[in-house]
């Protein structure tokens, strides 16, 4: 298995692998261009070169950073506000009508607790976000989490576990504070 295949399979992998370094360099070049581009249409074309956007109309505001981009799959009408960080060492799959406030972080990488192991390997688990999800500013979604359709993540929350559909979660760690009635 290549290091990329290991990474996407959730196995320990070497982030210093040349192929992975090249992929991150590509993403850095595109994110620098996205973050410097004031024209919305030109910025949109760069976003579509970086990530997989279902409708080709994803809006990602400047200040965006990711590891690879190619592992990010955005549904139709996806919007990420300023200064979002989507670390996509595993796949990030996002449904339609997604909204992320400023400073949202989606973090798929994980690192060993053992200091020696941490020097040379890491793992990653995917993040899945359903349709019509709104994530408030500064919220963090950790590796392996699934967020159900129509749920709301409160600003500043840290989501460490799966979130069912039609709820509002807040806090650190995020907890359900309200159930929503689907329209």
Active site residues: 111
For residue 122, the cross-strand partners are: 13
Alpha helices (runs of H) in the chain, residue ranges in sequence order:
3-9, 18-36, 40-50, 115-118
Peptide bond into 173 cis (omega under 30): yes
> 122, 24 in Cβ contact below 8 A?
no
Longest dimension (CA), the chain: 51
Sheet holding 174-179, edge to edge: 59-60, 79-80, 99-100, 134-135, 152-153, 167-171, 174-179
How many Cβ atoms from other residues are within 10 Å of residue 182's Cβ? 8
């Amino acid at each position: 298995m290549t290091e990329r295949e290991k990474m996407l399979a959730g196995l320990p992998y070497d982030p210093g692998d040349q192929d992975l370094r090249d992929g991150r360099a590509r993403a850095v070049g595109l994110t620098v261009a996205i973050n410097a581009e004031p024209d919305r249409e030109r910025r949109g074309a760069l976003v579509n070169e970086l990530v997989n956007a279902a409708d080709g109309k994803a809006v990602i505001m400047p200040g965006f950073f990711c590891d690879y981009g190619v592992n990010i799959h955005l549904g139709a009408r996806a919007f990420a506000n300023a200064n979002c960080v989507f670390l996509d060492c595993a796949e990030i799959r996002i449904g339609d009508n997604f909204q992320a406030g400023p400073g949202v972080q989606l973090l798929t990488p994980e690192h060993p607790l053992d200091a020696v192991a941490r020097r040379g390997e890491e793992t990653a688990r995917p993040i899945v976000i359903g349709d019509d999800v709104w994530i408030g500013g500064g919220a963090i979604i950790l590796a392996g989490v699934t967020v159900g359709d129509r749920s709301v993540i409160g600003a500043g929350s840290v989501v460490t576990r799966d979130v069912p559909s039609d709820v509002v979660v807040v806090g650190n760690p995020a907890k359900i504070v309200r159930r929503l009635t689907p329209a």
